[in-house]
């Protein structure tokens, strides 16, 4: 065990003792444990010098004293407060003993262990010690009178519960708060690791027999399972039990040793539905970083991906209880992984031949710089990454001055809520373009979770890191929940200065930013533009057959996107000139040509008006074409007879001349349809001007000049 591993184990042990309630006389119980004769000790085995690295689990009995002691407070439904046990006779105590033994045997059979192996498990020893010191005949004169026999029995059974049983008990009690979840995670992991330590020892004891599982010079868990009838019985039982307790058999990176790893996939839905979301994150990253530390994570993941895992650990630490064993453990992982990513022992690991930071390292570093919210890592790395970028990622003095102790200082400031929010590089973070459906379940986008977190107290920090499209989706989701107060909180400060909250909450017109006909929302980086010292952008929504980029969002001074409202700006999707468009144009032509009633074309799209213009030329019906022109005062007009006698463009078939159209509405209200023609060598683009009128879009004379 090296110094870091020892420190981690001592921290875990200290955390466990710190959590013991003051009403429990630990010294008295430990004395009783020492004197008990009916509890078998953990069997000590002689190990060879080439022994595999047994995972640094928290295997001492003391380290798991917390299991059940606090667990009973939330995982049992007993409301007994009496501590009067003097009325229990020896016969009644004997009944408790028999009940306990029956429960004990049940778990032993579930794990398919013999009695000695089952007794050697740390959490079973804990349960036995509690039962012996608090209930066993002959011990009542020394028991802690602050705990009734019934409470002590529940405590001991809680200690016996296997990881799979813990989940069932928690599910029956419903959602746990953050404190309860913290206790649950600590206890769940401790029991899991006792099982892992036991099974890894069995793998070591049967190392020779397991060589039957070699394939092409490497051990294989699949080959072992295929040969399960030719292996020792205890390994066969292990293979059957592991998945039931959230564990799996694996092979190390070298292919030379079998390992036991967490595999919580079977329990994921239940765990995350029962536990506090932030505390549950420990179990998510625990799957990748179990008791033996970050070594396996570093072996299995590319350096470019390690920044993501480090950011996930940081977020979890800053949003969970500091008084848990898992918090202490992952603090160690956090700084150890940060040093490996930023300060590798061999600087050559992150440098190219030309003394520049290699692509894998600077991808990891840029991940750290763009962690949303309050981030010690982002604060720490921002100056060096800016310096590296300016020098084309050349190894420089700014990097040499970095000190891991500064990261520790930032981390402590963040824990005390004294570190400023990290402003993100939105120009590099946001994608070029993305489309999201309003009909897709919001859990697919993470909007449901964002809604729950933000709805707790409208803490704006919960919105940091959410892009403009996500904020718009959140607004739409809040609208569906009739949560008008949240919708108000998503509006810009400029909007709030213009309208009062009561006016907004009671006025559907002000709230109606996303139309009922919209099925999708669109983000296009072309509409991301400077806005004083920050940025603004437009989100597109469907209106008829067009996409209207008219939902304006601004990035405010706290680095959070908020909605300004609807603006008069629009761009359509690219529309092919095909049979479907031609059919709509023909229908409009038949209706319009009868009387030239301008109101017939009031709802026609810009593409349909332009198509009708060229379809009239295809039919050589220049009178209809003339009637399409705008004839408002102040606009250039040509007498009809002069127009009819002028030269005209002839078109054989608009489907053969034009490939596609796209409409864009300018900020002055006018619009342009861009037509792409079929050429011989390269596409030719034509811009066709349109003017809004009371009866829809109309072309001015000479619209393509």
Q: Which two tokens stand for residue 629?
A: 């022109």
Q: How far apart are CA 58 and CA 456, in angstroms?
A: 36
Query: Under DSSP, is residue 501 helix (H, G, I), strand (E, B) or coil?
Result: helix
pLDDT of 34 > 80? The answer is no
H/E element, 19: none
- For residue 552, what is the enclosing H or E element? strand 546-555
- What whole-number percentage of the chain has pLDDT above 70? 83
The pLDDT score that the predictor gives to residue 249 is 92
Of 34 and 689, the one with more pLDDT? 689
State the CB neighbour count (10 A cutoff) for residue 144.
18
Q: What is the pLDDT of residue 92?
A: 81
User: Can you tell me the distance from the alpha carbon of 379 to that of 311, in angstroms, rounded to the nearest whole number?
Assistant: 12
Tell whether the model's pLDDT for residue 378 goes beyond 60: yes
Closest by CA position to 11, among listed 275, 399, 426, 330: 330
DSSP annotation of 294 reads S
What's the Cα-to-Cα distance from 180 to each of 152, 210, 243, 274, rounded to whole Å?
19, 41, 25, 10
What's the alpha-carbon Rg for the chain, to the nearest Å?
Answer: 35
Nearest Cα to 401, choosing from 390, 412, 388? Answer: 388
Place of tokens 């809040």: 478
Question: What pLDDT is stored for residue 113 in this prediction?
Answer: 95
Other C-beta atoms closer than 10 Å to the C-beta of 10 total: 12
Could you tell me the pLDDT band of residue 647, with boundaries at 50, 70 and 90? Answer: confident
- Tell me the average pLDDT across 123-142: 77
Q: 518: closest CA among 435, 447, 574? A: 435
Q: Residue 44 — pLDDT band, cuts 50, 70, 90?
A: very low
How does pLDDT run across 405-435, given as a tens digit for each residue?
A: 999 999 999 999 999 998 898 998 899 999 9
- 225-271 per-position pLDDT tens digit: 888 888 999 999 999 999 999 999 999 888 999 999 999 888 888 88
Q: What is the mean pLDDT of residues 634-662?
A: 88
Q: Give the range among 443-447, 548-552, 594-598 with minimum mean pLDDT.
A: 443-447
pLDDT beyond 50 at 320? yes
14 contact partners, CB below 8 Å, separation of at least 6 = 328
Length of the chain: 705
- pLDDT category, 108, cuts 50, 70, 90? very high
Residue 261: strand pairing partners: 248
Position 491 pLDDT exceeds 50 = yes
Question: Which residues fall within 8 angstroms of residue 334, CB to CB, at 6 or more apart?
Answer: 310, 313, 314, 317, 411
Per-residue confidence band for 77, with pLDDT thresholds at 50, 70 and 90:
very low
Element housing 468 (H / E)? helix 468-480
Q: pLDDT band at residue 292, thresholds of 50, 70 and 90?
A: low
**Which one has a higher pLDDT value, 86 or 389?**
389
Higher pLDDT pick, 12 / 579: 579
Give the percent of the chain with pLDDT over 90: 49
Say what the pTM is. Answer: 0.64
Residue 262: which of 57, 415, 420, 566 has the closest Cα?
Answer: 57
- H-run or E-run covering 249: strand 247-251
Q: What DSSP state is assigned to residue 315?
A: H
The whole-number pLDDT of residue 301 equals 86
Write out pLDDT tens, residues 526-583: 888 888 788 999 999 987 767 888 899 999 999 999 999 877 666 666 889 999 999 9
What is the pLDDT averaged over residues 491-508?
92
Instruction: With a cut of 70, say whether residue 401 has pLDDT above it.
Output: yes
What lies within 8 Å, CB to CB, of 364 at 6+ separation is 303, 304, 305, 306, 307, 341
In this predicted structure, which of 158-172, 177-191, 248-262, 657-671 has the lowest mean pLDDT? 657-671
Residue 634: per-residue pLDDT: 76
Q: What does the pLDDT read at residue 225?
A: 87
More confident: 517 or 626:
626
- Can you say whether residue 620 is alpha, beta or left, with left for phi > 0 and alpha for psi between -120 and 50 degrees? left
In the numeric block, the tokens 């001055």 are attached to 401
Query: Residue 478, Cβ neighbours under 10 Å: how many?
Result: 22
* DSSP 8-state class, residue 242: G
Contact 453, 464 (CB under 8 A): no
Q: What per-residue confidence (pLDDT) applies to 14?
A: 39
């Amino acid at each position: 065990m090296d110094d870091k591993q020892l420190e981690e184990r001592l921290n875990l042990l200290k955390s466990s003792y710190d959590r013991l309630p003051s009403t429990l006389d630990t010294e008295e119980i430990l004395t009783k444990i020492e004197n008990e004769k009916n509890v078998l000790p953990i069997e000590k085995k002689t190990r060879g010098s080439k022994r595999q690295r047994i995972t640094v689990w928290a295997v001492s009995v003391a380290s798991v004293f917390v299991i059940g002691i606090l667990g009973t407070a939330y995982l049992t439904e007993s409301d007994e407060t009496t501590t009067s046990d003097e009325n229990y006779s020896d016969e009644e105590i004997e009944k408790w003993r028999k009940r306990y033994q029956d429960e004990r045997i049940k778990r032993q059979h579930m794990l398919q262990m013999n009695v000695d192996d089952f007794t050697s498990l740390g959490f079973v020893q804990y349960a036995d010690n509690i039962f012996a010191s608090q209930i066993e005949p002959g011990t009542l004169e020394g028991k802690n009178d602050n705990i009734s026999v019934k409470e002590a029995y529940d405590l001991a059974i809680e200690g016996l519960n296997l990881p799979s049983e813990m989940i069932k008990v928690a599910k029956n009690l419903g959602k746990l708060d953050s404190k309860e979840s913290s206790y649950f995670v600590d206890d769940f992991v401790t029991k899991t690791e006792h099982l892992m330590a036991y099974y890894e020892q069995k793998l070591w004891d049967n190392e020779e027999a397991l060589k039957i599982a070699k394939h092409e010079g490497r051990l294989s868990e699949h080959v072992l399972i295929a040969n399960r009838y030719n292996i020792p019985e205890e390994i066969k039982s292990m293979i059957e039990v592991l998945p039931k307790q959230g564990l799996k058999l694996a092979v190390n990176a070298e292919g030379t040793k079998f390992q036991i790893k967490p595999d919580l996939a079977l329990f994921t839905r239940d765990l995350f539905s029962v536990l506090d979301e932030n505390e549950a994150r420990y179990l998510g990253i625990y799957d990748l970083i179990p008791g033996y530390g970050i070594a396996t994570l570093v072996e299995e993941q590319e350096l470019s991906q390690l920044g993501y895992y480090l950011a996930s650990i940081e977020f979890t630490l800053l949003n969970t209880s500091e008084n848990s064993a898992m918090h202490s453990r992952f603090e160690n992982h956090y700084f150890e992984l940060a040093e490996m990513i930023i300060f590798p022992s061999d600087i050559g690991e992150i440098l190219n031949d030309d003394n520049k930071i290699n692509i894998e390292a600077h991808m990891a570093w840029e991940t750290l710089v763009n962690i949303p919210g309050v981030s010690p890592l982002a604060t720490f790395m921002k100056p060096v990454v800016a310096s590296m970028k300016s020098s084309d990622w050349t190894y420089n003095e700014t990097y040499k001055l970095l000190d891991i102790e500064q990261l520790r200082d930032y981390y402590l400031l963040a824990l005390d809520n004294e570190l400023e929010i990290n402003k993100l590089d939105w120009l590099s973070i946001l994608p070029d373009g993305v489309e999201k459906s309003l009909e897709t379940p919001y859990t697919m986008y993470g909007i449901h979770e964002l809604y729950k977190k933000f709805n707790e107290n409208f803490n704006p920090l919960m919105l940091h890191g959410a892009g403009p499209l996500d904020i718009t989706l959140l607004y739409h989701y809040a609208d569906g929940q009739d949560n008008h107060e949240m919708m108000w909180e998503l509006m810009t400060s400029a909007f709030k200065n213009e309208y009062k909250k009561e006016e907004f909450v009671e006025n559907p017109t002000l709230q109606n930013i996303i139309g009922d006909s919209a099925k999708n929302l669109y983000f296009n980086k072309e509409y991301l533009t400077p806005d004083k010292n920050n940025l603004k952008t437009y989100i597109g929504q469907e209106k008829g057959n067009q996409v209207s980029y008219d939902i304006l969002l601004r990035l405010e001074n706290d680095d959070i996107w908020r909605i300004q409202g609807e603006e008069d700006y629009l761009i359509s999707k690219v529309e092919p000139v095909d049979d479907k468009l031609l059919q709509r144009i023909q229908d409009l032509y038949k209706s319009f040509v009868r009387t030239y009633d301008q109101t017939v074309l009031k709802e026609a799209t810009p593409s349909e008006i332009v198509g009708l213009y060229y379809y009239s030329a295809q039919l050589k019906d220049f009178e209809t074409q003339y009637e399409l022109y705008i004839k408002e005062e102040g606009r250039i007009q040509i007498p009809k007879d002069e127009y009819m006698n002028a030269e005209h463009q002839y078109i054989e078939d608009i489907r053969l001349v034009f490939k596609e159209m796209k409409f864009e509405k300018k900020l002055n209200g006018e619009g342009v349809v861009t037509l792409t023609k079929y050429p011989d060598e390269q596409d030719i683009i034509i811009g066709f001007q349109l003017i809004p009128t009371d009866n829809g879009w109309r072309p001015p004379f000479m619209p393509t000049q």
